[in-house]
Structure 1
Amino acid sequence: MVDAAEGTPVAGSTLLTPGAAPQPTGGMIRFSSQWRERLAAGPESDLGLTEQFRRLAATLHHAHLANGLSDVMLTSASPGDGKTLTAVNLALVLAESYRYRVLLIDADLRRPSIPDIFEQSDGCGLSEALTSPTEQKLALVAITNRLSLLPAGRPISNSIEALTSPRMRQILEEATSRFDWVIVDAPPVSAATDARLLAQMVSGTLFVIRAGQTQSPDVQRAVDAIGREQILGVVLNGVEGTGPTPYYYGHPRD
């Protein structure tokens, strides 16, 4: 079996299989044109935006070296706070600036947003694998030579049962054994209990807040639902005068 991120043999892999070959890295042709200027990689990216995400990625890089942290979930209190774009940009920077092998998992099975950013055709993904009566392998989409995507697949309503299944745990365990970093884009906390349950399956959570939009009571309820001990830090989006700039507050757990 071949690792989609690097093209090297992987022993003992059971669920994740290579998908489409990566597009040439010189262009961002795998991204929707309306999102390219908001991405932290590629010829159209804003240097200030890229630098802010490099700072965020640097925090995770040091945690990876210090205590082996290799998987993180991103969520927010409400829709529209920017957690999906943050997850995509973080995955891009970890792969392209830090040269890690990265898997981005779209785990928002009710209303997946990553297809809006990637020029991705509809197809099978995580939801089909979790709801299938028999175990089926998942084809990863290679975004670059080092970044792979596990799409959400078709939206489903019974996502809680699917995401808490033994098969989901198996997928996460295999992903963390095969990739340097696993970035999980989870649903907003207010939309469902999916994020709270997923938080128990990963090493930690980054909580995304949008300046001037996310309400403090909503943040408090979301943090209480996830559990403060699960939160590695907070990313503040949309700071006035800086655009969608992320800031990291807090320190990864030892």
Structure 2
Amino acid sequence: MSLVPGRQFANTEDPAHVAQYLIRYAGLGEDALQAIAELRAREELRFSEAALRLGLVTQADVDAALGASRNLESGRPARAQADAQLVVAHDPFHPHSEQIRVLRTAVLMRQGEAAANVLAVVSSQRGEGRSRLAAELAISCAQLNQPTLLVDADMRNPGLHPLFGLDNARGLANALAETAPPQLHGVNGLPQLSLLTAGRAAGNPLELLSSDALDALLVGWRRRYRHIVFDTPAVASYSDALAVANHAGAALPLARLHRTPTRDWKTLIQRLHSTRARVLGGVLNRI
């Protein structure tokens, strides 16, 4: 590849690793790099600015790259550790792990050939097993050796951070409210899985989750991840999950045996049908 000679960019360089991150996760090929080099030769632009100007990356891509660079400079975010109750992460031969794989296969077949499978796990009430199902489904997707992102969109009663031994100081709420790069956590033993905790919402979570900021994040995430799984709040109490399902485009409803009333299940399905999300069957939790 021949780059444009001449002008040096010493005063217009991105922080370390930003260009490498964008090249890798936005899939910038030789033609794109040549176009960026030519534009930078004409104007004093950073690599990221030139890529944005040319429409080769999104602002969400750049934010993620800047966040990754800051993490490298200041120390990476704490790595997560899957709790023992997330059986699929620890015992692939357990019957429960096989049930999760069967569910994963059914969900992926119903989602078709989309570039990225985005899914919101939803249920009517608290205590129905929503967070565990979202976590184990994401773990199972990552075990396909495909990049997977697990997002806790339950800012009311977040449940993913204790399942992975993390605090909840910063997360999705901060990324949406501050338009800051989200702080993603790697997971020990699962190199293809990333986790975004809920964070602490200063404002109304429904407004945050209904905003264009989540759409902007999803644009970048769809480039980088094959599977994106959202945990959500209880639908009977809040409309947050419906907003997330709208963004995701697909929902997997969950009920718990001997706990979820039939009327609540019917109401849940009716409310999901009022969104743009496809309902991908349903799960009955017997645990």
Give the TM-score, by structure 1 length: 0.79
Aligned CA distance change for structure 1 residues 158 and 217 (closer, same or farther; 3 Å): same
Cα distance between partner residues in 2 of 1:125 and 1:22: 13
Match of 2:96 in 1: 49
SS at match of 2:25: coil
Aligned CA distance change for structure 1 residues 122 and 69 (closer, same or farther; 3 Å): closer
Match of 2:34 in 1: none
Cα distance between partner residues in 2 of 1:84 and 1:69: 21
Please say if 1:31 is aligned against 2:78: no
1:1-254 correspondence to structure 2 within 5 Å: 9-11=24-26, 12=57, 13-16=61-64, 17-18=67-68, 20=76, 30-32=81-83, 36-43=84-91, 47-63=94-110, 66-68=113-115, 70-96=117-143, 98-132=144-178, 135-143=179-187, 144-156=190-202, 158-227=204-273, 230-238=278-286, 244=287
- Tell me the CA shift for residue 15 of structure 1: 3.2
Deviations for 1:175-216, whole angstroms, at most 9, x for unmatched residues?
112100000111110120111122111121000110111000
Which structure is richer in relative contact order (CA contacts within 8 A, separation 6 or more)?
Answer: 1
Aligned CA distance change for structure 1 residues 60 and 105 (closer, same or farther; 3 Å): same
Aligned CA distance change for structure 1 residues 8 and 151 (closer, same or farther; 3 Å): farther
Give the TM-score, by structure 2 length: 0.71
- Tell me the CA shift for residue 138 of structure 1: 1.2
SS at match of 1:217: helix
Cα distance between partner residues in 2 of 1:41 and 1:53: 11
Q: Any stretches of 5+ residues in structure 2 without a counterpart?
A: 1-16, 27-56
Q: Are the counterparts in 2 of residues 38 and 46 from structure 1 also a CA contact under 8 Å?
A: no
2:135 alignment partner AA: V
Superposition RMSD in Å: 2.5
Q: Any stretches of 5+ residues in structure 1 without a counterpart?
A: 24-28, 239-243, 245-254
Cα distance between partner residues in 1 of 2:141 and 2:78: 17
Structure showing greater radius of gyration is 2
